[in-house]
Chains A and B, each alone.
Chain A
Amino acid sequence: MAAKTLLFTSGKGGVGKTTCTANIGVALAAQDSNMNVCMIDMDIGLRNLDIQLGLENRIVYNLVDVIEGSCKVRQALVKDKRLPNLALLPAAQTRDKTSVSPEQMVNLVNELREMFDLILIDCPAGIEQGFHNSAAAADEAIVVTTAEMSAVRDADRVIGLLEANPRKINSWLLVNRLRASMVKTHDMMSVDDVIEILGIKLLGVIPEDEKIIVSTNKGEPLSLNATKVIGAGQAFRNVAMRLTGVEVPLMDIYGESQNIFIKQFNKLKSLIKFK
């Protein structure tokens, strides 16, 4: 069966799309060595997924080279040495979003669907061409937001655009950078607040975690280190497990009723269908 394609998107910039794509991709590949995972960096001109994964020095060709026919898709894929079942299709750095069309993306992703079990797309910020190119190839979307007003507002806009797509792309909510202590003192919206406002199903909650800076410095996604059972690394692994249909409760990071999540959870079936 052809691979499913999940889009990490947000509307607003800087909320953690790339961080979430890298960490969840790594967690998925680490969780099951039989599952071949491909990540596509769609942030043409401002690529960063390579850095987050520590693969920046191994890039030879990029997505635009493949689309323009300068190389075969296999030549552009960068394999992760730590996880042989994980590959990155890097973005071009010296081009812009208009160098690719939605139709070209659909064709490229269809080719990748036959080579992998799962494809993750790291969407650029905004709702312009880069977003449309990314959405064209996506089966489901993971909408990343923080619990801040402008991020949630932009998330709502993106959810609306995905719904309005002729294929009615379904969105899952991933709340990033949650600060439990601020939610407790009522200085930050809670996950339940965000769910209520956006009205989509929750996939997971990632706490604010300064270790992310260190892990990016080293090019080693936090979720790679399975010995740490707290913090964002574990939250990313939990999301990866939920995506494959394993029921994992939320970590107690926001000190609130988890009823909403449990209700949602009954509806959360495996998003990824294996071959």
Chain B
Amino acid sequence: MIGLLGWLTGPPKDVSSREEAKKRLQLTIFHDRMEVMELPAERLNDLRNELMEVIAKYFEIDINRTECTLEQDDREVAFVANIPVKRVRAGG
């Protein structure tokens, strides 16, 4: 049955080299730009502080345990923030 399905759907299609080039390039350029902007060190910290200010309007948060990182898999880069919430602020 698996064999038949395999036959019906054909061999796994290779990602075109054009698509591959585009993805690799997008990622490379992302890293190049970060390096140029010196994002990892200072800028990322600024971003974290600004973000905290906004979030603190809505939640009481545990500043000391927040974590902000850039995570990457082969398809994309994500800005990941882990912000422990102590409680929701009363709506004003």
Contact = CB atoms under 8 A, between A and B. Distances in A.
B33 A149 contact: no
Dominant secondary structure of chain A at its interface with chain B: helix
Interface in B4-58: 16-19, 21-22, 24-26, 28-29, 32-33, 36
Nearest to B37: A160
A153 B32 contact: yes
A156 B17 contact: no
Contacts of B29: 152-153, 156, 197
B25 A190 contact: no
Interface string A140-183: 00000000110011001100100000000000000000000001
Contacts of B17: 186-187
A149 B21 contact: yes
B36 A160 contact: yes
B75 to A, nearest CB: 15
B13 to A, nearest CB: 11
Given A156-B32, A156-B33, A160-B33, A187 B25 contact: no
A241 interface: no
B18 A157 contact: no
Contacts of B24: 149
A158 to B, nearest CB: 11
B18 A152 contact: no
Contacts of B36: 157, 160
Contact of B18 (A188, A196, A197): A188
Contacts of A197: 22, 25-26, 29
A61 B11 CA distance: 65
Given A153-B28, A186-B17, A187-B16, A193 B33 contact: no
A187 B14 CA distance: 12
A183 B17 CA distance: 10
A197 B29 CA distance: 8
A205 to B, nearest CB: 16
Interface of A: 148-149, 152-153, 156-157, 160, 183, 186-190, 193, 196-197
Interface of B: 16-19, 21-22, 24-26, 28-29, 32-33, 36
20 contacts: A149-B28, A152-B25, A152-B29, A153-B25, A153-B32, A156-B29, A156-B32, A156-B33, A160-B33, A183-B18, A186-B19, A187-B16, A188-B18, A189-B22, A189-B25, A190-B18, A193-B18, A197-B22, A197-B26, A197-B29
